[in-house]
């Protein structure tokens, strides 16, 4: 199993109250770490507060946001935990509503909002621009105020995701969940398993039902873990943000925070098994599907291996690669304690004296044979 402890939060932030907002963010990270979580998601624009309105047009607002992020990174808060922090960022004179991914006192990615909320109570286009360059990243020069503090000058900025050894993580931001072409759809098809959503969503009668249905629907169709965070309370304007931070796995809500609460900081956690939500990328499907088929055919046919005529072309070399994938699957299953696979591998590979395969390349030498059979197209 690939177990991942994740955390999300409701934060009662106040517009332009940088000191209190910063303390709430720090407290949420500390609580997430104390629970053993290695991923923490925060609300949209949590450093500044969502309802800053025309204060977003003031350069000092963004400067103070960077100062707060510097304060977070200067401490040991992000050591061992991936933090998704919401704040405004300016690139080439254009303001964006961003999610900033931080880990081990470094910034890994700045992800700007793609679809802005601009109806009803929302006027985001007055203060921000939407990122129009889908699936594109640019280099962002960090302001000196933070570049010097973290010894980092350049950060990827744009519509991308983070790829780790054991999983891929991507962000949506509030309104994007409600759009017909929600980013999580394409990302899931590209192999992303964990989605974060920092929101500033206000209370409206039965709106929570719609929000939860969209989260459940997205993870039910594509599979995955969806970590939703929201502001909670009044941040100085006329709206009440109704929290309900939640974590969904494969269409099921496995953890949910309060909708109406007086707490400034509420952290919600869940332990998820990524193997239960795995959604493979096309390249993985091409390799793993035929690899599983080859193993089933081999173990049931009574054969002792495969003989592959090599011509030097794409077809035979692809088959060889797929056999290699099959061997890796066998070794992984044995390592996980599957006694049936182990028994079949010993029989097919003709291992004796209690020996069994522990390395995919070594196992391939037992069951995979090739012979060159050139054609008129061979070099």
Structure tokens at 112: 């700007």
Q: Is 246 an active-site residue?
A: no
124 neighbors 201 (Cβ within 8 angstroms): no
- Angle, CA 19 vertex, CA 15 and CA 25 arms, to 5°: 85
Q: Which of 33, 113, 172, 201 is catalytic?
A: 113
Cα dihedral 180, 182, 185, 190, rounded to 10, equals: 140
Structure tokens at 103: 């880990």
Q: Which of 190, 258, 311, 360 is catalytic?
A: 311
95 neighbors 129 (Cβ within 8 angstroms): yes
Structure tokens at 18: 């940088």
Q: Which of 9, 83, 174, 325 is catalytic?
A: 174
Give the residue from 21, 269, 204, 238 showing the smallest Cα distance to 11: 21
Q: Is 176 an active-site residue?
A: no
Q: Which of 9, 28, 33, 44 is catalytic?
A: 44
User: Cα dihedral sign for 29, 129, 162, 186?
Assistant: positive
Q: How far apart are CA 8 and CA 6, in angstroms?
A: 7
How many CB atoms lie under 10 A from the CB of residue 344?
19
Q: How far apart are CA 31 and CA 79, in angstroms?
A: 14
What Rg value do the Cα atoms of the chain yield, rounded?
A: 25
Give the residue from 148, 131, 151 showing the smallest Cα distance to 67: 148
Q: Is 44 an active-site residue?
A: yes
Q: Is 375 an active-site residue?
A: no
Give the residue from 95, 102, 86, 94 showing the smallest Cα distance to 38: 102
Active-site residues: which are they? Answer: 44, 113, 174, 311
């Amino acid at each position: 199993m690939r177990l991942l402890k994740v955390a999300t939060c409701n934060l009662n932030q106040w517009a332009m109250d940088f000191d209190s907002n910063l303390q709430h963010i720090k407290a949420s990270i500390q609580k997430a770490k104390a629970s053993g979580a290695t991923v923490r998601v925060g609300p949209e624009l949590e450093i500044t507060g969502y309802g800053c309105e025309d204060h977003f047009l003031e350069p000092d607002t963004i400067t103070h946001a960077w100062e707060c992020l510097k304060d977070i990174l200067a401490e040991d808060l992000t050591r061992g935990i991936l933090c998704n922090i919401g704040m405004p960022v300016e690139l080439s004179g254009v303001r964006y509503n961003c999610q900033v991914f931080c880990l081990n006192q470094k910034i890994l990615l700045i992800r700007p909002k793609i679809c802005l909320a601009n109806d009803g109570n929302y006027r985001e286009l007055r203060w921000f621009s939407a990122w129009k360059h889908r699936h594109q990243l640019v280099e962002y020069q960090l302001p000196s105020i933070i570049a010097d503090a973290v010894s980092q000058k350049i950060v990827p900025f744009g519509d991308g995701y983070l790829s780790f050894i054991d999983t891929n993580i991507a962000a949506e931001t509030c309104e994007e969940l409600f759009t017909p072409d929600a980013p999580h759809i394409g990302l899931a098809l590209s192999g992303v398993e964990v989605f974060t959503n920092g929101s500033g969503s206000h209370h409206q009668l039965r709106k929570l039902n719609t929000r939860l249905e969209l989260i459940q629907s997205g993870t039910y169709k594509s599979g995955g873990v969806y970590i939703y965070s929201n502001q909670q309370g009044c941040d100085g304007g006329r709206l009440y943000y109704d929290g309900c931070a939640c974590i969904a796995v494969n269409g099921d809500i496995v953890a949910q925070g309060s909708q109406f609460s007086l707490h400034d900081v509420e952290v919600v956690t869940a332990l998820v098994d990524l193997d239960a939500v795995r959604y493979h990328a096309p390249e993985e499907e091409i390799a793993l599907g035929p690899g599983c088929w080859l193993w089933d055919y081999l173990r049931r046919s009574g054969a002792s291996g495969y003989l592959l005529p090599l011509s030097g072309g794409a077809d035979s070399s692809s088959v060889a690669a797929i056999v290699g994938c099959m061997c890796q699957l066998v070794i992984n299953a044995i390592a996980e304690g599957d006694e049936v696979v182990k028994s079949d591998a010993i029989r097919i590979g003709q291992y004796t004296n209690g020996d069994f395969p522990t390395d995919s390349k070594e196992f391939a030498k037992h069951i995979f044979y090739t012979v060159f059979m050139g054609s008129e197209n061979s070099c």
